[in-house]
Amino acid sequence: MSIVSSRPTITRNELENVLDSLIKEELTGGNSVKTFESSLSELLQIKLSLAVNSLTSAYLLIFKALDIQHGDEIILPSYFSSAPLGAMTLLGAKAVPADIEESHFSPSAETVKSLINEKTKAVIIGHTFGIDAQISRFSDCGIPVIEDVSHALGLEFEEKIPGSEGSFAVAGFTPTDIITTGNGAAVFTKNTRYFSLMRSLRGGDDEAVSLDCTMTEFQAAMGLSQLTRLQDFLRIRREIAQVYYDRLRLTPHKSVFPFNPNSSYQSFPVIFDASEDKVLKYWKTNSIQLYKPFPKTIHEHLGLKSMDYPQSDRFSKKLYSLPIYPTLTRKEIEKISRTLAKFI
């Protein structure tokens, strides 16, 4: 049987929580969403949070709170999720991709500043793969910083909790994220005016016209169960990563950053010293699925020239992730690491 590239960690706890929600016939508007929001706020130490049905919805609420209009510009890494791009498309806003630095998987502050003009309304920066993006580098850009912590839940960077330095924070809960609600996301802010506007737009009652992007009760019930085991998820991912690093040293291939016991290892990114055909054939023959975290860059979505985004383009084509998730068995981990060591 093939080892899949990614799998959510769903156990009896999640099933019981979701079933309990369904038995109570609480599908929307119950206590699970409120409790999930409170738990997330406590985790990030940001008082105001809203759970929504997708990461695109989370970005859409933020853009509406910032009064993003047609033709306004938002800067974001080119090697990044397309979720904010979808929200921008709905509003007619212009995405301005920035090439990334290898050390942070995010653009440099200098690159961001060079792209700012009178139409620029915000910049999005993510802690991709759980690597500290050092948000403080962007504090003097003069525009709101939207901090994506999807890959950094449960972490601390130099005693700072990810999400605490931006004007907004967002976290996605897809099956490939650190925790999952099936789909879904959350948005965070310390600004009460922004929060009130986003809460009204999210919906959940009939008092105002909304965008109808609430999270369901059973999604939140699953999320609550996942949060109770967040640190266990992180510990297991780090243990698996350490095994992979030990084997990777025996090969000509390389990871893009050294082992870090404080990272989340949402993915285990590797650049193989081999052609794409050889890579795919070798791992397929061994019944192990790899995946490219962001196979299509933001600049590709926009039809821009790859030569202007060399680092992002290189990673989208060359970077793969090994399977790394808490439900991998010892036998599967050994098979993946052994296969990695033999790939020379």
Q: Are 294 and 315 in contact (CB under 8 A)?
A: yes
Average pLDDT over residues 117-129: 97
Specify the higher pLDDT residue, 233 or 212: 233
In a domain, 141, yes or no: yes
Backbone angles phi, psi at 99, to 5 degrees: -70, 155
Cβ neighbourhood burial of 286 (10 Å; 0-12, 13-18, 19+): middle
52 and 97 within one domain: yes
Q: What is the C-alpha separation between 154 and 158, in angstroms, rounded?
A: 13
Last residue of a domain, one of 184, 208, 228: 228
> What span, in angstroms and rounded, lies between the C-alpha atoms of 292 and 295?
5
Clarify whether residues 26 and 173 are in a common domain.
yes
Enter the DSSP assignment of 158: T
* Residue 113's CATH number: 3.40.640.10
Do 134 and 84 lie in a common domain?
yes
Tell me which of 11 and 242 has the higher pLDDT.
242
Instruction: Based on the fold, state whether residues 84 and 114 are members of the same structural domain.
Output: yes
Over residues 127-137, the mean pLDDT reads: 95
Helix axes 31-44, 217-228, angle to 10 degrees: 40
Which range of residues forms the domain containing residue 271? 230-342
Answer whether residue 251 is part of any domain: yes
Distance CA 344, CA 334 (A): 17
Decide if 2 is inside a domain.
no
Long-range residue pairs from 254-263, CB within 8 A, at least 24 positions apart, any chain:
256/102, 256/105, 256/315, 256/319, 257/103, 257/129, 257/131, 260/131, 262/155, 262/156, 262/157, 263/129, 263/130, 263/131, 263/155, 263/238
Residue 126 shares a structural domain with residue 223: yes
Q: Do residues 76 and 47 both lie within one domain? A: yes
127 phi and psi, to 5 degrees?
A: -90, 70
Q: Residue 320 and residue 256: Cα distance in Å, rounded?
A: 11
User: For residue 266, what are the CA distances in angstroms to 161, 225, 235, 306, 322?
Assistant: 17, 19, 12, 26, 11
Q: How far is CA 293 from CA 256, 320, 322, in A?
A: 13, 7, 10
Task: Classify residue 7: in a domain, yes or no.
Answer: no
The domain that holds 274 is classified in CATH as 3.90.1150.10
Which residue in 191, 136, 176, 126 sits closest to 158, CA to CA? 136
Q: Can you give the pLDDT at residue 209? A: 75
306-340 exposure pattern, b = at least 16 Cβ within 10 A, e = fewer = eeebebbbbbbebbbbbbbbbebeeebbebbbebb
Is residue 1 one of the residues assigned to a domain? no
Our count of domains for the chain comes to 2
Q: With H, G, I as helix, E, B as strand and everything else as coil, classify residue 329.
A: coil
Q: Is residue 24 part of a domain?
A: yes
What the block records as the tokens of 342 is 């033999």
| CB-CB contact of 88 with 97 (8 Å) | no
pLDDT value, residue 18 = 75
| pLDDT tens string 60-114 | 999 999 999 999 999 999 999 999 999 999 999 999 999 999 778 999 999 999 9
Is the same domain home to 263 and 244?
yes
Can you give the pLDDT at residue 22?
A: 75
pLDDT tens track for 299-342? 999 999 999 999 999 999 999 999 999 999 999 999 999 999 99
Given 200, 228, 256, which residue is the final one in a domain? 228
pTM of the model: 0.94
**Residue 25, pLDDT score:** 67
**Rg for the chain (alpha carbons), in Å?**
20
Tokens of 222: 């699953």
Same domain, 194 and 99: yes
Q: What is the pLDDT of residue 109?
A: 96
Domain annotation covers residue 3: no
Which single residue is written with the structure tokens 């007619």?
A: 92
**Is pLDDT at 27 greater than 70 in this prediction?**
no
d(CA 7, CA 3): 10
State the pLDDT at residue 205.
63
Do 317 and 247 belong together in one domain?
yes
Does 271 share its domain with 314? yes
- E-strand ranges in 160-296 read 168-172, 185-189, 254-255, 268-271
Domain-located, residue 305? yes
Query: Is residue 325 within 8 Å of 7, Cβ to Cβ?
Result: yes
Residues recorded for the chain: 344
Domain boundary among 205, 228, 251: 228
pLDDT for 50 equals: 97
Instruction: Identify whether the C-beta of residue 323 lies closer than 8 Å to the C-beta of residue 288.
Output: yes
What the block records as the tokens of 316 is 């989208």
- For residues 204 and 246, membership in a common domain is answered with no
**Full strand arrangement of the beta sheet holding 168-172:** 48-52, 185-189, 168-172, 145-148, 120-126, 73-77, 94-98
- Regarding whether 256 and 201 lie in a shared domain, the answer is no
